[in-house]
Amino acid sequence: MNILFLAIVVIAFLTAGWHQLQWQPGPTATAQAAASASPMEQLSAGMISSATGAIELAIGLVGIMALFLGLMKVAEEGGLLTIIAKLIRPLMVRLFPQVPANHPAMGAMILNMSATALGLGNAATPFGIRAMQALDALNARPGTATNAMALFLAINTSGVTLLPAKVIAIRAASGSMDPAGILPTTLFATIVSTVAAIAAALLFQRYFPVGQASAEELALERPWVKEFQQGSTTVLETADSAQNDQSAYPFWVSVLALSAMVLAIPATIVWGKAIAPWIVPGMMVGFLLFGWLRGVRIYESFIAGAKDGFDVALRIMPYLVAILVAVGMLRSSGALDVIVGALAVFTAPLGLPAEALPMALLRPLSGSGSYGVMSSILTDPAIGPDSYVGYLVSTIMGSSETTFYVLAVYFGAVQVRRIRHTLLAALIADVVAVMASVAICSYLFGQA
């Protein structure tokens, strides 16, 4: 991200500088041209305007983010994560036959995927790290990723998303008339990319054997493994309690729930415009009623979640300023027009306009950077959140993950250095997510 940020700024500066050296109003110029700002003045004005717009966007995002994360907190405390966990556990035991059904790793993985499905990134990460530590307790070669680890992270980076709450919030803050319009597109793209991730991980694992552990690897200090081996009571009580209740949902119920989720895609495509106005108010009423019926103190829970939303919005403010100023410089200097024109020749016929290409490339590298790029595109008057490009970048954002960050954090937590085929499977999932996003957005919204 450091190199990318610096490169954007330098390219914009050099482009504006080149135009400045050639800029001459001349005696034959019209009065309007003579009064126009020079390229460097336009660059300076673009920087100030972009910085101001970033703060305005962040301030507008505070309330919307607080609203959505408040609702998510009510649903979380009402046990929605556990309900989803019960639905997917019968499928999980078949995907991970090498992990015992009653092992803490299974419960932690299920809760991680459930949190991801609801767009609860902050809640998903602790469960994911704990899952990796529990999986490492089953690892015969310390420092090397097991097949289960590789498959888990491939699914994690492509996870099915039912509710991309943060993306919906940013679309609403950007003035979208249909902020929840990406629900069917995101669901479609994540289902396709998850299938691709599972297939890639299972296919490539045979070409990347684990091998035999060396004496140095066996001597590696792994204090988290001792917790599981000694039966420590600190082993993720939430995951254990979730596991003990899993038998309530048999396999056919999981298949039925998954089928209903898949069938929801054509339903939203057919009745999407009629359903869209009901989604956000329906979420408000539905989540609050769900929490109330489950005995949750909904007001206090909503306030606690809203505080988290306020903190999240404030944390991303510096990132928004940085990336929006850099993109604004690129646009004001004229460099963006040159880049867009060059790439559009190749990408536009494929349904991926050059304006959306930076999102596709940046998303696996940086979450904050890709949020900034998405915000820049959605707030661009020439594009807007409800255009084809606006829907496309929103879908890409909601259906993919910061792959390199996830791999670094999760593997770093268990000191795994040899990741085998994990990165390959995850990147394939990212590419498929972009392709699926282009396909579904082209079908629903048409190309700009």
DSSP string of 270-307? HHHHHHHHHHHHHHHHHHHHHHHHTT--HHHHHHHHHH
- Give the pLDDT of residue 170: 84
Task: Please compute the mean of the pLDDT values over residues 201-208 and round it to a whole number.
Answer: 93
- Give the pLDDT of residue 368: 65
In a domain, 19, yes or no: no
- Give the pLDDT of residue 83: 76
Determine the Cα–Cα distance for residues 358 and 226; give it in Å rounded to an integer: 44
Phi, psi of 115 (to 5 degrees): -65, -40
In a domain, 17, yes or no: no
pLDDT in tens, 182-203: 888 898 999 999 999 999 999 9
Task: Please compute the mean of the pLDDT values over residues 279-304 and round it to a whole number.
Answer: 86
Q: Please report which confidence band the pLDDT of residue 61 belongs to, taking 50, 70 and 90 as the band edges.
A: low
In a domain, 12, yes or no: no
In a domain, 31, yes or no: no
**Position 268 pLDDT exceeds 70:** no
Task: Please compute the mean of the pLDDT values over residues 276-283 and round it to a whole number.
Answer: 72
- Give the pLDDT of residue 321: 79
pLDDT-above-90 percentage for the chain: 17
Determine the Cα–Cα distance for residues 231 and 239; give it in Å rounded to an integer: 14
Q: Which long-range contacts (CB under 8 A, 24 or more apart) does 412-416 make?
A: 413/129, 413/132, 413/133, 414/132, 414/133, 414/135, 414/136, 414/222, 414/224, 415/142, 415/143, 415/220, 415/222, 416/132, 416/136, 416/143, 416/144, 416/145, 416/149
- Give the pLDDT of residue 233: 40
C-alpha pair distances (Å), 439 with each of 127, 136, 140, 362: 32, 38, 42, 20
Tokens of 133: 């530590």
Q: Please report which confidence band the pLDDT of residue 237 belongs to, taking 50, 70 and 90 as the band edges.
A: very low
Task: Please compute the mean of the pLDDT values over residues 359-377 and round it to a whole number.
Answer: 78
Phi, psi of 418 (to 5 degrees): -100, 100
- Give the pLDDT of residue 203: 95
**Position 242 pLDDT exceeds 60:** no
Tokens of 259: 């089928």
Does residue 4 or residue 332 have the better pLDDT?
332
**Position 111 pLDDT exceeds 80:** no
Q: How many domains does the chain have?
A: 1
pLDDT in tens, 142-174: 889 999 999 999 998 887 787 787 788 888 888
SS3 309: helix
Q: Please report which confidence band the pLDDT of residue 354 belongs to, taking 50, 70 and 90 as the band edges.
A: confident
Q: Please report which confidence band the pLDDT of residue 407 belongs to, taking 50, 70 and 90 as the band edges.
A: confident
Determine the Cα–Cα distance for residues 432 and 157; give it in Å rounded to an integer: 12
In a domain, 226, yes or no: yes
Q: Please report which confidence band the pLDDT of residue 429 belongs to, taking 50, 70 and 90 as the band edges.
A: very high
pLDDT-above-70 percentage for the chain: 79
Determine the Cα–Cα distance for residues 85 and 112; give it in Å rounded to an integer: 9
Residues forming beta bridges with residue 307, ordered by sequence position = none
- Give the pLDDT of residue 202: 94
In a domain, 24, yes or no: no
- Give the pLDDT of residue 432: 94
- Give the pLDDT of residue 316: 62
Task: Please compute the mean of the pLDDT values over residues 32-39 and round it to a whole number.
Answer: 60
pLDDT in tens, 48-57: 887 887 777 6
**Position 110 pLDDT exceeds 90:** no
Residues forming beta bridges with residue 418, ordered by sequence position = 144
Q: Please report which confidence band the pLDDT of residue 320 belongs to, taking 50, 70 and 90 as the band edges.
A: low
**Position 231 pLDDT exceeds 70:** no
Q: Which residues of 329-368 are buried (b: 16+ CB within 10 A; e: fewer)?
A: bbbbbbbbeebbeebeeebbeebbbbbbbbbbebbbebbb
Determine the Cα–Cα distance for residues 366 and 355; give it in Å rounded to an integer: 18
As to burial, measured by CB atoms within 10 angstroms (0-12 exposed, 13-18 middle, 19+ buried), residue 140 is exposed
Kindly report the average pLDDT of the chain as a whole number.
79
SS3 347: helix
Nearest to 68 by CA among 387, 398, 399, 362: 398
248 DSSP assignment: G
In a domain, 14, yes or no: no
- Residue 46 structural domain: 39-445
End-to-end C-alpha distance for the chain, whole angstroms: 29
Q: Tokens 């009423």 identify what position? A: 285
In a domain, 18, yes or no: no
Lowest-confidence pick of 148-157, 281-290, 423-432: 281-290
Residue pair 182/79 in contact (Cβ under 8 Å)? The answer is no
Q: Which long-range contacts (CB under 8 A, 24 or more apart) does 440-445 make?
A: 440/184, 440/185, 440/188, 440/189, 440/395, 441/185, 441/351, 441/388, 441/391, 441/392, 441/395, 442/351, 442/388, 443/269, 444/184, 444/185, 444/269, 444/272, 444/391, 445/387, 445/388, 445/391
